[in-house]
Structure 1
């Protein structure tokens, strides 16, 4: 197998313009750029304390998002009894939140490229708090569904903003390390959500599962006022140009924005960019399909996980929630070990290629993920089917979680490296199909397990993954550069 090596993928601040000293090129004096690689205003050169504060804040925001998605699972029976809904409609209360993740980033990501990461994250968080609070007051299924999808749009800022901010502030050689920290808290969400949700719904009522998260996210918004500055270098340079125009009266501009650009023109281009990228970039289409099946399988399994323990193992809502700890163990192992392997593989392949880089250097980490996902599905399915001791299906779910995170981290890092200038829009485009799959797969989960059982049902999922997932790393490694070259140039 061979991989085409490309130059540095816009990995450094001076990718915006060449240095006149090194190239002899005459630079327009009105063009505003960074003052070399060591410009202290570039986010790459901020202090470690400042960068970690931003990373940990967004990590907490991700925790809220993933807890919101899973927290209702143990409380679904209580909600169904209060709102008088059947099993299929009750399942929508859980999965409709994930559907919002498909459409929210397609709007929020381009807005973040026009107005900046900070204001979009702040306003989206406030939007989430409003509608998540309303969900707790719902007296009808319709209001609960509406408030869930609206709060999901606000919560989807995690998928629109977090990875772009990591790309803004951390150099590619540190991306794995930043992933290991930024994903640690969010990956606790699928475990903490059901545990807290089960305890809360059993003690003070399911409505408090919403209100507790609204209070927590409100505290994060207050903290963000003090620790979350703007990180997007395009916005920072545009602000520098604006200040120079006001101070001197001269038409200073940047490489991405002319002095005469209007807000309307920038919005018209940006708001369509995720859709244009998805339609015109073959590599994003391939990544989107792989992410979609990963996410769909995960949510299909999670949507029935609490039901397995309550109905088949006779556990209480609180006890059923504790089994999600197994999933988080798998997540954490993959995030911490995989992210460090990602940095080492990147450094090794970069040195081997004469200090040149390529997004394909993120692909090797997909190989263990491709093995672990079907293995975890089979172990979890058949041990649950045979009603073995709870620790065995939990081991299977941990292996599945480990594989899901390995694949997801690799594909996300690939997109970040391949679309450095428009990473927010590219990330949104790559995640569009996965969120639709995360919504759709759980809808047929109860019927599948009722008809096939946990064993044969998971066998079908595992076999389908082998057909789709095993060729994925080889396809990206061998043909990734060609597929990227086939994409149309975007503005």
Structure 2
């Protein structure tokens, strides 16, 4: 709150760049999979899909300890440590000597890359970064793989990650209120020799107790908060569908339509256009509801807007998702709606525990993103691309009631669950 505007812009910009880079890494490698399988003499389609989606599995595990650690030690040290880890495993991916080594390194690359999407909260650019990153990745990756080979994908990620890490070490500052206040209280205790000085957010727990509660909190929020469970399931399906398409586009357009390795990446641009359209529509809808105070301040005598106003545009996305799947490829205009609405809602609703709520959501969506693509090859071989995507569309149709019900009953469900008691 006390920073000058330029410094806020720098910090938000760096976190958004990290949030763009790590999802970019999830799919940038996709056009190079055929080269990898040929180089290592492996023709297993399941392994070919898994070496892409295992990255997202790392996204699922990382938040379980990164989020609580950030609430205990602060955001800044988590960013620095995970940035270094991401660079190390990007280099190891580039130097992999087998499919097994590459798969393992991809997992840890994703694990360390999960930090920005777990503890970041610069919602405007931040929401666009994780949905545009996986789309731009294959476009750039297709040309890079064709020109320099699949290993250079990871060298580029390591180089860009290294540059961002240096900038983060220079400019990033701590933003987590509880850690800032505790640091100040500790400094005052030392200066005044008054051991009774405590932070306003101090809960009088030792480090072991704090970490135990923090590590358990994402799981308990996921299990005991009905609205988090429902939103996580909804986002999980959308996210899983997105990565299922990522893992099948290369094979579909190369085998069925004869696209080259460099040109096949361009097929992902349809998803990118859908992202931009979706973000523009959803942003305008959110602005409209923000201006219409009667819809969002009802039953709030102090005039504070309810977090549920964030969920209003989800109804639009629930309809566009199955339509897009039936048309094959334009489903991504629903993804910005899901990311922007759900993430902003969780931050508004859970406040100081937002990282844990986001972590719970990230775990579920990442598991879906890692597992669903593994079923893609078998599904399309049996049903074909037309009926395969139609099946996904019919499943999406069944999810339409979720945002409608949450918009109506979300406040009641939210108030029944108190994260501070965990």
- TM-score tier by shorter-chain length is over 0.9
1:182: how far off?
A: 2.5
Q: Is the aligned partner of 1:438 residue 2:396?
A: no
Q: Does the CA-based 8 Å contact 1:58-1:162 persist in structure 2?
A: yes
Q: Which residue of structure 1 aligns with residue 80 of structure 2?
A: 122
Gaps of 5+ in 2: none
1:196: how far off?
A: 2.0
Q: Does the CA-based 8 Å contact 2:127-2:339 persist in structure 1?
A: no
Q: Which residue of structure 2 aligns with residue 255 of structure 1?
A: 200
1:330: how far off?
A: 1.4
Q: Is the aligned partner of 1:64 residue 2:21?
A: yes
Q: Distance in 2 between matches of 1:154 and 1:352?
A: 39
Q: Distance in 2 between matches of 1:449 and 1:200?
A: 28
Q: Distance in 1 between matches of 2:351 and 2:58?
A: 25
Greater Rg by CA: 1
Q: Give a deviation string over 1:64-84, Cα, whole Å, max 9, x none.
A: 111111012111110001122
Q: Does the CA-based 8 Å contact 1:113-1:270 persist in structure 2?
A: yes
What is the TM-score normalised by the length of structure 2? 0.94
Q: Distance in 1 between matches of 2:127 and 2:343?
A: 12
Structure 2 vs 1, CA of residues 186 and 202 (structure 1 numbering), >3 Å: closer, same or farther? same
More helix by share: 2
Q: Mapping of 1:74-223 within 5 angstroms?
A: 74-85=31-42, 86-163=44-121, 166=122, 179-223=123-167
Q: Does the CA-based 8 Å contact 1:280-1:488 persist in structure 2?
A: no
Q: Distance in 1 between matches of 2:14 and 2:368?
A: 28
Q: Which residue of structure 1 aligns with residue 352 of structure 2?
A: 421
Q: Does the CA-based 8 Å contact 2:297-2:306 persist in structure 1?
A: no
Q: For 1:478, which of 408, 412, 416 is the aligned residue? A: 408
SS across alignment from 2:313: helix
1:147: how far off?
A: 0.6
Q: Give a deviation string over 1:334-361, Cα, whole Å, max 9, x none.
A: 2244224323313423675362321111
Single out whichever of 348-357 and 272-281 deviates more from structure 2.
348-357
Q: Does the CA-based 8 Å contact 1:415-1:426 persist in structure 2?
A: yes
Q: Distance in 1 between matches of 2:37 and 2:293?
A: 53
Q: Does the CA-based 8 Å contact 2:62-2:115 persist in structure 1?
A: yes
Gaps of 5+ in 1: 1-42, 167-178, 381-396
Q: Which residue of structure 2 aligns with residue 295 of structure 1?
A: 239
Q: Distance in 2 between matches of 1:336 and 1:53?
A: 24
Q: Does the CA-based 8 Å contact 2:317-2:337 persist in structure 1?
A: yes
What is the TM-score normalised by the length of structure 1? 0.81
Q: Is the aligned partner of 1:365 residue 2:313?
A: yes
Q: What is the number of residues matched between the two proteins?
A: 415
Q: Does the CA-based 8 Å contact 2:132-2:272 persist in structure 1?
A: yes
Q: Give a deviation string over 1:180-210, Cα, whole Å, max 9, x none.
A: 3233444432232112212222121111111
Structure 2 vs 1, CA of residues 246 and 352 (structure 1 numbering), >3 Å: closer, same or farther? closer
SS across alignment from 2:93: helix
Q: Distance in 1 between matches of 2:208 and 2:80?
A: 22
Q: Does the CA-based 8 Å contact 1:99-1:435 persist in structure 2?
A: yes
SS across alignment from 2:352: coil
SS across alignment from 1:323: helix
